[in-house]
Amino acid sequence: MAFPCVDKIEQRTQKFLQQSIDGGPEPAYSNPVSGYKVYHHNKPFLMDHGGVLPSLDIAYETWGELNEDKSNVILLHTGLSASSHAKSHPDNPAPGWWEKFIGPGLAIDTNRFHVICTNVIGGCYGSTGPSSIDPKDGKPYATRFPIVTINDMVRAQFEMLNSMGIHKLYASVGASMGGMQSLAASALFPDRVGRVVSISAAARSHPYSIALRFTQRQALMADPNWNKGFYYDGVPPHSGMKIAREIATISYRSGPEWEQRFGRKRSQPMTTPSLCADFLIETYLDHQGERFCLQYDPNSLLYVSKAMDMFDLSASVREQISQRREANWKRVLAGQGTSAPANAATPPEEQDQDQQQQQVAACSTDDVKQQSKSSEAGSAGKETGGSQAAAASAKEQLEDLVKGVSGLRDIPTLVLGIQSDILFPVWQQKEVADCLRESGNKNVTYYELDSMYGHDAFLLEIINVGSAVKGHLELRG
């Protein structure tokens, strides 16, 4: 039996090896993005989980005129692997990922609004991320890059807004991870956000979506070329990336569309079935993987997808992070010779404990296995320790979330979900809307759209998604 799909992967590896021997150009992880501007933040930037970047860059693009009092700014947030290139412009005429949503008279009307879209930190399209150079040694950070959160991404954006003299956003808009950022922006800076659009996002990631991203990361990290993240002068983990993208694609699209588009058609109906791509749906996935495997930095995929997993607007989580930040700021500022913040709520023991635990984590796989085993051993009913306790705990967690989003109570918010989305299912959209309403927000608009495109509907449903966005931005207020 022939395996052209395996040969192809091997050929690409050999090409990279040869390039590296020939001293040819290293693979370019940056997408062909160009024409963006860069904000350079020349101060230490503290991350939620204790990492500190000595400085950082944010790449961004803009559309529409900024008005005199800087009150017409829409901050548009990107999904996991999208760049700041949401729309074509003179410095980069290539179509952007929301090309038909942004423009004069469109969903985001550039006759009215000044739109800013940034690349997230942790990414690879011009903002500081794992492929950026660590000034300490002139080499890429790789997996020495600190763990990054959605809040970190948003805080970096607001440092940029500060530098631009923009105090308050007309609106914070985003879909998927962009919706998470949109919600995070209003939770972190409620006085600086005029209204919110959250499409196919969540107020906290649920285990099914974590599972989908986990398998992608595992597939990538299993590629020997990933090399624990230190591949920048060698062969990139293109094989792992390809599989990661194939898995991701399943979660981005829904069944009904594929049923109609591919059905059970084979790419070469007269041939004997093969174990490489064979059905049209397989060649489609293969193609998605091929397209993406050298387009996005693998380490960025790890960090940014992990940031999505960790996203949780619950009050208890926000409080915990806030305390940790205060303690860590103290350390940072001390190291920088500047004064400590007003109050440091976290006892020093927490930090020690944290370090201790970290050592445990590095050799904890067996413990974890034990733990997992014991929960496995039980029968279905026993697994959770009783559904009553689970229900009580679910109620508490919901209250925690309501408390966590209470800062948004005065911000008109559009929550839009897609009924065929399996990655950010509509019950999660309803959760966002319900929690906002429960916290006292009287201006929540909640729509469900019956698109067959699943999670990707926000890229494809120009009219159905666009109308909701336009209405929310232009009618309210």
Return the DSSP state at 312.
Answer: B
Taking alpha carbons only, the member of 96, 9, 29, 32 closest to residue 296 is 29
Rounded CA-CA distance 300/306 in Å is 10
Determine if 417 is a binding residue for a second copy (CB under 8 A).
no
Tokens encoding 281: 């749906």
Nearer to a second copy, 23 or 207 (CB): 207
- Which of 68, 337, 342, 362 touches a second copy by CB under 8 A? 362
DSSP 94-130: S--TTTTTEETTSSEETTT-EEEEEPPTTSSSSSS-T
436 by DSSP, 3-state: which? helix
Stretch 419-458: interaction string toward a second copy, x if CB under 8 A? ---x--x---------------------------x-----
Nearer to a second copy, 162 or 268 (CB): 268
106-165: contacts with a second copy (CB under 8 A): 143-144, 147
41-70: contacts with a second copy (CB under 8 A): 49-50
Q: Would you call 421 a catalytic residue per the annotation? A: yes
Please report, as a single letter, which amino acid is at residue 403.
Answer: K
- Which of 1, 21, 377, 475 touches a second copy by CB under 8 A? 1
- Which of 38, 275, 334, 340 touches a second copy by CB under 8 A? 275
Determine if 177 is a binding residue for a second copy (CB under 8 A).
no
Q: In this chain, which stretch among 33-41, 118-126, 168-176, 212-220 interacts with a second copy, using CB under 8 A?
A: 212-220
Nearer to a second copy, 142 or 161 (CB): 142
Nearer to a second copy, 17 or 222 (CB): 222
Nearer to a second copy, 28 or 394 (CB): 394
Please report, as a single letter, which amino acid is at residue 272.
Answer: T
**Which residue in this structure is represented by tokens 């992967």?**
9
- Which of 353, 395, 410, 477 touches a second copy by CB under 8 A? 353
Tokens encoding 334: 């001390």
Nearer to a second copy, 260 or 339 (CB): 260
- Which of 156, 173, 196, 212 touches a second copy by CB under 8 A? 212
185-204: contacts with a second copy (CB under 8 A): 204
Return the DSSP state at 88.
Answer: -
User: What separation in angstroms does the CA of 477 have from each of 167, 195, 326, 408, 413?
Assistant: 18, 9, 36, 16, 12
244-263: contacts with a second copy (CB under 8 A): 246-247, 249-250, 254-255, 258-263
- Which of 21, 342, 360, 377 touches a second copy by CB under 8 A? 360
- Which of 14, 55, 163, 268 touches a second copy by CB under 8 A? 268
Taking alpha carbons only, the member of 140, 149, 141, 122 closest to residue 47 is 149
Taking alpha carbons only, the member of 12, 28, 20 closest to residue 297 is 28
**Which residue in this structure is represented by tokens 């997808």?**
305
Which 3-state string (H, E, C) describes 187-252? HHCHHHECCEEEECCCCECCHHHHHHHHHHHHHHHCCHHHHHHCCCCCCCCHHHHHHHHHHHHHHH
Q: How many CB atoms lie within 10 A of CB 391?
A: 11
Nearer to a second copy, 164 or 317 (CB): 317
Q: Determine which one of 48, 421, 434, 456 is catalytic.
A: 421
Contacts of 47 (CB under 8 A, 6+ apart): 53, 146, 147, 148, 149, 152
For residue 309, the minimal CB distance to a second copy (Å) is 7
332-351: contacts with a second copy (CB under 8 A): none
Determine if 322 is a binding residue for a second copy (CB under 8 A).
no
- Which of 88, 274, 323, 406 touches a second copy by CB under 8 A? 274
368-407: contacts with a second copy (CB under 8 A): 368-369, 371-373, 375-376, 379-380, 383-384, 387, 390, 393-394, 397
- Which of 134, 282, 399, 448 touches a second copy by CB under 8 A? 282
Nearer to a second copy, 94 or 221 (CB): 221
Q: Would you call 455 a catalytic residue per the annotation? A: yes
Determine if 228 is a binding residue for a second copy (CB under 8 A).
yes
- Which of 286, 297, 421, 434 touches a second copy by CB under 8 A? 286
**Which residue in this structure is represented by tokens 């949780």?**
312
How many Å is the Cα radius of gyration of the chain? 23
Q: Determine which one of 254, 455, 456, 472 is catalytic.
A: 455
Query: Alpha helices of 293-438 — where are they, by DSSP H?
Result: 298-310, 315-336, 348-361, 365-377, 387-404, 426-438
**Residues 329, 331, 337: CA angle, nearest 5 degrees:** 100
For residue 299, the minimal CB distance to a second copy (Å) is 9
Determine if 279 is a binding residue for a second copy (CB under 8 A).
yes
- Which of 52, 94, 164, 276 touches a second copy by CB under 8 A? 276
89 by DSSP, 3-state: which? strand
Determine if 4 is a binding residue for a second copy (CB under 8 A).
yes
Residues recognised as catalytic: 176, 421, 455
